[in-house]
Each structure stands twice: as structure tokens, then as C-alpha cells.
Structure 1
């Protein structure tokens, strides 16, 4: 049977973007529009199931009889070619009742729906991970604070040594929650003054295990470097990304050198390899997101982009020097930390924290420093104190996640009412708060933190440890 020329009703369908064919009761094709013929050719004498799907038998899902007897039918089918949305409409054509079959390829739509479901699933996992990490960080904070306070009251001996070991173990829990927060998109940078070499040494063993036996690792770390501001987790991410790039550039082996030294008011970190190098025309683009010279499925193009973002967030800079077949050197510059002397004063402190144990640990630690401390159990109570108390608060410590009113709202109020105050925001996770826009007066501490860390921010005089501070007070 030859297909009739498209006329009458089928002229309506000729140029439509969907696949449209007319089918009689014997599943013979009476007409096909341009889209159908462009994909499958002229129908000739092929039945619809052979023409569309290459089958030798009637489709098991075929609703032709239902459409002819009861009216329009819609279904989705999944074939090797992809997903199709299929409509069958009854119609009169040249004196007989037929079905007009409309097929729309929805494979791309299905793929996008699957991607959306995966994204929603990952968002749910991220929220769950962030929530778990937040609660776990509060538990760690309370436990670490109690141990630190106990250590400050105990003489040196076996008990204090055991407590120090417990504190070290809890520190491993901090690293675990840090990974959960990364999954939950809640981690923020916590730059602290410190020895860059100390952070690097923590990563060297991991680097050696990554490189294998074909690549020699050489570390040239200059001793007694001045302190710089850096975040240990961010530094690890920076180094690992640079090391992975170096490893990919040396498939047959070579040498990787990590070097630190001081250059004027900066501490320099260099990561050098003896690999294939980077062509000059590509060096300006290597820090662009998604730019990669690696083979497909072997790189995302995000590694160096992340390195660039992290070093900029730490107020540093990065340069690259490379020659084809002669290797590459990435040079990272960290500004030296300038210490400012603190005036001796007796400031008043307000702590807003809904976890009672953490609130009391912080209060006791600060009272031992000779500070006058007020506390609030939720955001509303803290806001009332900010608005109506006659106290001249110079130090404000707010948990970001509290009942009734958030810590971020308190910070915005405090910036106006107490322009001279130092503000410390703390949280088990970032909770999406963009604190960087609030200026240098606002410091962020990721829970759990050591009491020494918060004392270093707000203590009116340098204190090397909680224990020394306690002993100093007891001697006054």
C-alpha cells in the first residue's frame, strides 16, 4: 500500500516540529509529515511499529483500539532511542476512521528532570549533613570547653596528660565535621595567624601517598617564618589541587618541590614540578572556571579556579611561571601578619548563646580573664540587652543560629548601637550568612573552637593558654 499524498487534514501537520503520522486499523501508515520523513524516510509499505521503532511485531503498549473507540490517549514510552510522549487522536480521513499519532521526543526533558532530582537529592543530603555537623559541633564545643577548663585547674600529671589526649581526639572530630560542612556548603574560611610550615607539614604525608614512587617529593621549608593569616583546610585544598596538577604533568615521573621563604612583607609558598609545562598562550586562562587542557572526563577545570579563589580570599596572590617541557612553578604570596598592641582595659562582654553549657563555659573562661560578662539565652533576650542596657559593651559574642532572633540580626543591630565593639560570630555551620560584607569588626569562629582561639581575639592581654591565664589570675 502506498502512502497517500499529504492533503486535507494532513496539511495541517506538514511543518509541525513533532513526528506525526496517520494510522488505519491495520496499523498501515496513511500519511507522514515532514519531520517523520526527515527522521525515518518515506513510510512506503511499512506498518507503524516497524517504521517508527524497527519492531517486527505490534508494540505491546499500543493503544490504537482504545483511541479509535474511546477517544484521545496519551502515554510515555521508553525505547532504546530515548523517551517519547505519544498522543493518539481519532479522526475521519478519506471516509474511514483513523488515528493521528503524534510523537514528541522528550529525552532531553527527562534528562533535565533526572538532573533536577539529583540536584534536589544532593541539596537534601547537604542540608542533612550541615544540620548534623552543626549539632555535632555544639557537642564538641561543650566537651572541649569543659576539658580545657579542667586542665586549667589541674596540676601537670597523668590525669592532665590523658585529658590532653582526649582533647586531641576531639580535634579529629572537628576535622570530620569540617568535611560534612564542605558537603553541606556551609564551611567558611577561618584565617588565623600561624606558621605556614606547620600547616604544610600536616599535608606532606598525604602528598607523598598521592604521588606514588615515580615522583620524588622534596620539601624546602625555611624555619622561623613570620606568622601569616591562613586557613588550614583551605591550605590543604590549595596544595592538593596544585599537587594533582603537577602529577598529571609528570606521567612518566619527575620531581615535585614545595618551598617556603620570606620575601619582604610576604611569605612565599612555591610548588614546582619538572613536568610538561604550560604553553604561554594558555597561561592567562588556567585560572578560569571550567578551563582545562586535560582529556574529556579527566578534569573538571575547577581545581586551579578554586586555588585562585581561596588564595584571594586569604588576601594573598598567585603567579605561575612555566615553559613547555621544562616544568611549572606556582608561587603563592601570603602577607605577613602585623601584630598590633592592645590597650589594657576592662571591657564588658555580652554572650548570646542558646546552648546553656557552651554559654556557661564561655562566661567562666572570660570571667577568669577579669572581664565583666552578661549572657542571653536567645536572640530576643540579647536584642533587649542591646537596646535597653546601660552597659557599654566592647565585646559581643553571638551564636548565629538561635531561637526567636538570629545572630546575624543581632550583629546588624550591634554595628549601629556599639560602633566601638569587637563582634565575634560563632556557629556550627555558616547558615548562609555573608559576614564578609559586615566589615573587619566582625570575626567568625567555626564551632567547635578552643577557648584559646576566642581569647586570642578578645583578650585584653596576650595569653598563651587557658591554664596560664587561670594561674595568672590566681596569683593577683
Structure 2
């Protein structure tokens, strides 16, 4: 049989196939890509006529983009007889044409005469739809990663389908841990038990309780913490199924600030009430004491004179109490004069030592020389004496009392945390003991008149109230740092007499920050107070740093293990959760000695709580300014 006689039947078969399937997209070409047959479907798909296409190399004509080298495709066909894949062609007008292509060798036994039949299905619309979908998914992903409020998406069964980066940060779970789980895992009881029933009732009856309205509810974090949150839920229908999108705002800081404001308003109201009562009562005592004095000159009976003297002593004690109430109510007239607070406290130290007794060590530290303030010296000494006596009672077995005087500047960030605080330069007097400390409940009520934790006959409960009233009347403010078992630090901010700084606007504060030293390193911030932590994180991010954050030492250790890029640990010294700042620093240095450590503390000095910082430790005393923080960071990192 001749070659012509052998090939002709195959050619006729291919011709018949192309003729019958002319409306489809079929190209017949040899292994070099030379086109021998070109259907009408290809003319419609690619824009080239049959006469223009035949004889051309198809991948040159169509400027084909292969997923793998074409030589590998040919090799595969020689071995297995067919190949499938996606190709990108170009239309005659240069438009992209995506196809799902299948290449088949019709008679692989005749190796010398191999041709390839290539069929193609246009998937350009599918590719376009996939591109649009990918764009939308990327857009949604960017929203989930950047939206400041936590966002959680669930289906009508309550299953979580999306969990934003802010939600991860808020609840403590990763998106991988939450997706596919029921959303009630983020709720405490009784909401957790009622959620499925509520969702089912809504789907059947349309009765709404939260959807479309928004309300304040409680959330449950991974560590078991229950916190208040504002929840707003929207509803949509996608492919016949309802989806619910919840936007969540953490209200912990807001509730704390509202509580601070309520406490300040209550103290103001109580102060006005007690001041008014004390003023009227003082008038009564004046009458009583005056009449007793007049009677004293007329009575000769010694037994009656003893009774008269006891009544006079009681009236004098009553006058002292009303004096303290007037001081709390800011009704007591002050006699402010320019005074060097450091020298005043130093000269007063001997009297304080006698009041404290031999079992308590008194330590006075004066930082700098410019500690002048306009203050009533006798009232300040009286306030320090009250604080010293409270500290002594908190240390029945002895301890250490530290009084530190230094200049302090309160900036806009710190003032935002407390409704009554104003910005400016202050002389800070910190009175810190190593006593038993206060619980959060006691600390909240510490300045209230007549509130005391001492036993009957051990005090009037007016000592701290008098201190509060005196400092507020002097134009300053008072703050207490205390933890059970870790001592107490009472801090008196007295307006500085020199270089007073007027109130700072947000615009001026932002302008000043732009001149601060900047950095690019990764810093881990560990602070249990969410408001203080938020301010620290914002300051660091504005200065160019990458910031990770934790609310306690154990969470910080977990972050340290998973983030080798951390260069510095910025941690509070006294924290709940069983791991203090200095203990955390020791554990970090044991595994990551290259990490720098910067401590911060509300105490007069970090070691006052009974712990010593490592020798390489550096620390900032609260409140610190953005400038203080920026400079100290560069000192450690450079």
C-alpha cells in the first residue's frame, strides 16, 4: 500500500468531522502547530477566516499564552494521546479570548503522520466573572482587615462565615477558630442559651429584637472575660439565604469614662452638700463653744468645771471635723503662697517620721530644682500627714513610705482619660507605701466622706476626703494607684507656679507630635487598663512603630513566642493575672535576651511594690507624655 493510499482515508475522516462540526471551535494542526483545518466556529471566535488561518502556526496567529511550555504539552500528547488545559488566545482585534482546550491525536499508532485535533470552549465570560468575584473578595477582605469596628457575618443557622481582624483582636479568637462555629460561642449566658431560639423565632415569625435596631449587650472573650458592647445587625438575602452582619463596638472604655464622670459628679455634689452642712454646723459650734467659755468664768464647782471642759473639748473636736468637711467641700479659705514643694516636704519629714513610728522607713526623693507651686503650705502638710497616717495603718508590720516630688506635664492624651483633668505643668507629689493595697471597690470610694475600711474608733473617714478637696481647690487633681497586696500610691498634682502651660488644643498637640523622634521597629505593649493601652498604642503608631498589644503577662508571652520581629517590650509593672511586669521581663530575657524592656508604673518607683527591676530595666512614670515615650524608646533602641 502506498503512502497516499494510507493517508487519504484519515484526511477524509478529518474533513468529514470538520464539515459536520463546522459550527464548533475545532483546529487541526500538526506537531509544529501548522494549521490544516479551521472551522466556521473558529472564524466566529477568533475573527480570522479559514483562508487566512490555514497554513499559519496557530500559536503565532493567536499569540497563545500556555500554562506550561508548548514542548511539554507535545511530549505529553506523544505519551498519552491527549491533553487538557486553559489557554489564553488573542482575537484578530487583539481582544483576549480565554478557552478550555482539549488536544487529541486521532491515530497515535501512525507516529510519522501525527496530527492534533484541538477543540476549544470559550470561557471568557466565566473568567470575567471570576475576576469580578476575586476583586469583590479582595475588597471584602480589605474591609474585614481594616474596618475599625469588629464585624461578624453569620448565616441563618447562626454559623459564622466571616470574622474581621478587629473582631479577632476584640474577642481573642482567630478567624480560623471561629468560622464554621455557631456565633453563640461569643455570648455569655443567658444570651448564649436563648440565641438559637431567638433566631428560629425570627425566621418563622419575623419578630425582631436586635436586627435593624442595635442595642447594648454583653460579649464573651476567649479568656472568659465578659464585656459590654454595642451591637448593630443588618440583614440581607444572598442566593435565597439570609445572612446577618453584626457590627460591634467595645464599650469597656466608654463605660469606665462614664463611671469616672459619674464619680466626679457625685464627689462634686457630695462636696457641695457637706460643705454647706459643715458651714452651718460650724456656726452652731461657735455658739456652743462661746457659751461654754462664758459659763466657765462663772462656775466655781470643780466637778462642774470638769464636765464643762469635756463639753468644750468635744466642741473643739467637732470644729476640727467641720474643718475637714469644709476642706473637702472646697469651702475652707486657703492662704496660697509661692513655695518650693521639695524643700517644704523635706523640712516636714521629721514630723512625718515621728507619726509613722520606727517600723516604717520614710524615703523622700526630690527630682530637679524647679518645684515651685502656689499652695497653702499648712494645708499641704496636713494632707501629707493624713496620707502618712493612712499608709502607717496599711502597714501594721512595718514597711516603706516613699514621697517623691517632681515636675510633671499632663498632655492631651492623658487628660482625655479623666473628665476633670486639664493639661499643663504640675508639681507632682507621690506618696507611695508598701502596704496591703486597695481593692477596685475600695479605690472607687476612697475619697468619699466618712468612708473607711478601718474598725470603729480608728478613724473618721475624712482624711482622704480632705486631701481631695484641698488639691481640687488648689487647681490640681488627685489620683490613686493601688492593687491588693501591692501597696498604694496617692499622687497630688499641684499646678506649677512657673512655666505654666495653657490648655493645649488637639491641633497643636498633633503638630508637636510630628517633631518627635520616630521609629519603625515592632513594639509589644502590655497594659491591663484598656484606655491607657489604647493611648500608648496610638502614640507608638503615630511615631511609625508596628505595635502588638496584650492586656496581661500571659498573653504577652504567647505573642513573644510567635513574633520574632519584636524589638522592645513596653510593659506596666503592676498587672493582674498572676504575672507582673518585672516577672514578664525576666521570662522574656531568658528566651529572647536581645529584646529591650521599658517599664511604666503609676507608683512613685517600680520597686516600691516589693519587687526589683532587672539592672538593664528602664522605666517611665505615669503619666508620661508622647515626647517622654518617644525619647526613651530611641535611647533604648538606638
Per the TM superposition, whether the score is higher than 0.5 is no
> TM-score if structure 1 supplies the norm length?
0.41
> TM-score if structure 2 supplies the norm length?
0.32
- Tell me: higher relative CO, structure 1 or 2? Use CA pairs within 8 A at least 6 residues apart: 1
Larger of the two Rg values belongs to structure: 2
